[in-house]
Structure 1
Amino acid sequence: MAAGRTVGSFGIFSPELRAEDPGLRAGLREAAAELEELGFGALWLGGSSGVRHAARLAGATSRIVLATGIANIWFETAAELAAARARLEEAHPGRFLLGLGASHAELVARYERPYTAMARYLDGLDTAAVPVPADRRVLAALGPKMLRLARDRAAGALPYLVNPEYVARARSVLGDGPLLAPEVSVVLESRPDRAREIARGFLPHYLQLPNFQANLRRLGFTDADFADHGSDRMVDSLVVWGPDEVVRDRLAEYLTAGADHLALQIRQERGVRTAPRQEWRRLAGILEPAQ
């Protein structure tokens, strides 16, 4: 079944759910089960996640889609990743969606041209002993070229750090069929100064990476917007914050612009690494009429 018909309108994007500390795993399984009961359609395991992270949560859930957000193509060979995915698929059929990304030159020692590397990696998935079907993989695409690759050789795209204007542009590249599932950062805070302070706790990391810079400049942001950890204009465009009804309306803008599914990431104060379970419950309440 195509990915777009399985993940629903809203999912949770969470680096916290892929924590490696064995002492946290029971709590993470409990959190995953609660997110399923809250009505979210997918759990996107953030950071450089792998099949093993999804496998740890599969037994604690029964229907929610478990997805990598993203698996870094430089960390495992296509054959290794396909074999791990095949084992999970055999144990939990139809539950796993493979999100793939080419990362950034600043973060990978042996980085090559991302489009060429991704196309070659997809070739490897296609020719593995147990291939990964195109409709069970999505690409962390931003630029038009990678979006076209996501359209032609995957179920769709998982773009990161984007706004509704970007979504409309991406939909025009993808066309009507492929899944468009942007990650959307959410700060559940009504006070403007406090909400922007939290946003500026994570934005600088991304604003210094050329791939994100190029995409944001295509959206019309200038040098002034990149200064001082992001202008108010940039923060307010890329991060959803405000009272509950404002959050609901802002998220609806992404869907109206052409997104099929939103991978919602709760942003917390810098340094907080625990799963934001209270915020997930609140977010489910905000979205309940639309789920």
Structure 2
Amino acid sequence: MNLGTIGIWSLAFTHGDRGEAREAAAELEDLGYGTLWLGGSPGGNPSGDLATAADVLDATDRVTVATGCVSIWEQPAARLAAAYHALPAHQRARLLVGLGVSHAECIDRYRRPYAALVGYLDELDAASPPLPASARIVGAHGPRMTRLGAARTLGVHPYLVDVGHTVRARSDLDTTSLLATEQTVILSTDPEAARHQARTMLAPYLGLANYREAWLRIGFEPHDLAHGGSDRLIDALFAHGTPEEIAARITKHTAAGADHIALQVVTAHRTLFARTAWRELAAALC
């Protein structure tokens, strides 16, 4: 499955207007992006039934469409496999099903996430017909989940990470596994305004243990996670500046071993399609 080097990650596909989602998807394909990531909220992805993916696939001809990510707690494996195989073969060929374990703060029955994901992958393999490993990817941050993604899926899709994480993740993967890194973006040449916008977006994630542990693991200190996040944390997780400066950050990720970068443009609300920003970025990146 060809994801291309640059994709777009957006909550608007799953939370915004379905008609505009189709229009935006077609435009993004024309702009040259390789993959459209249907973003899910921390508590789960409302497109777990793949209905949104089917709409976006129907509106496009070439791009890969990926879910980022379906919560394993919200969508039974057998139902997900059935939804996948209900799509026509030519659409399945462009669909990548991202899977995630979500967060203890969001899921009442959250227990032993690694074992739960192993069991979920086993159920996908046992479904009739199975959802193939080549059509799924894992949202992973730690080395153990990353190695599981390499062994049982196409690869991993880390979210809200820095270039240092890309280096570490690449070292935990074999050479054939896909590393599709999300990069959050703010098109602003005013650093303080960009950091303020970043802190607003980051606030819900700072309360999630999985993310806090991931950031501490890659070298940040507890004080970096306090008071909305230090400038050091913000500047590492968010690429802000001109399209050309964003492109320079992408180059660092690819040099560190990322195969694909999914750009998430920060918007004021999850239902907004950042179409102007996507066009500006395409001119520099696609």
Q: What is the RMSD computed on CA atoms of the aligned residues?
A: 1.2
Structure 1 counterpart of 2:230 = 231
Matched, 1:14 2:10: yes
For residues 40-119 of structure 1, the aligned pairs below 5 Å read 40-47=33-40, 48=45, 49-50=47-48, 51-90=50-89, 92-119=91-118
Aligned-residue identity in percent: 45
Instruction: Give the alignment partner of residue 272 of structure 2, picking from 271, 274, 277.
Output: 274
Deviation at 1:272, TM superposition (A): 5.9
Structure 2 counterpart of 1:248 = 247
The whole-number CA distance in structure 2 between the counterparts of 1:212 and 1:90 is 36
The whole-number CA distance in structure 2 between the counterparts of 1:86 and 1:260 is 27
The whole-number CA distance in structure 1 between the counterparts of 2:250 and 2:91 is 31
8 Å contact kept, 2:182–2:261: yes
For residues 174-253 of structure 1, the aligned pairs below 5 Å read 174-253=173-252
Structure 1 counterpart of 2:137 = 138
Structure 2 counterpart of 1:123 = 122
The unaligned stretches of length 5 or more in structure 1 are: none
For residues 255-266 of structure 1, the aligned pairs below 5 Å read 255-266=254-265
Structure 2 counterpart of 1:159 = 158
What's the TM-score, normalizing by structure 2? 0.95
The whole-number CA distance in structure 2 between the counterparts of 1:124 and 1:195 is 43
Deviation at 1:89, TM superposition (A): 4.4
- What is the number of equivalent residue pairs in this alignment? 280
Q: Which amino acid aligns with 1:195?
A: A
The whole-number CA distance in structure 1 between the counterparts of 2:272 and 2:160 is 22
The unaligned stretches of length 5 or more in structure 2 are: none
The whole-number CA distance in structure 1 between the counterparts of 2:90 and 2:154 is 22
8 Å contact kept, 2:155–2:177: yes
The whole-number CA distance in structure 1 between the counterparts of 2:244 and 2:90 is 41
> CA separation of 1:97/1:229 partners in 2, compared to 1, >3 Å: closer, same or farther?
same
The whole-number CA distance in structure 2 between the counterparts of 1:185 and 1:146 is 22
The whole-number CA distance in structure 2 between the counterparts of 1:205 and 1:92 is 34
Aligned partner of residue 265 in structure 1, secondary structure:
strand
Q: Which amino acid aligns with 1:251?
A: I
Deviation at 1:273, TM superposition (A): 2.9
Q: Which amino acid aligns with 2:20?
A: G
8 Å contact kept, 1:139–1:154: yes
Deviation at 1:90, TM superposition (A): 3.1
Deviation at 1:91, TM superposition (A): 5.8
8 Å contact kept, 1:162–1:184: yes
Deviation at 1:104, TM superposition (A): 0.4
8 Å contact kept, 2:12–2:270: no
The CA deviation string for residues 141-192 of structure 1, in whole angstroms up to 9 with x for no partner, is: 1111100100100000001111111001000001211000011100011101
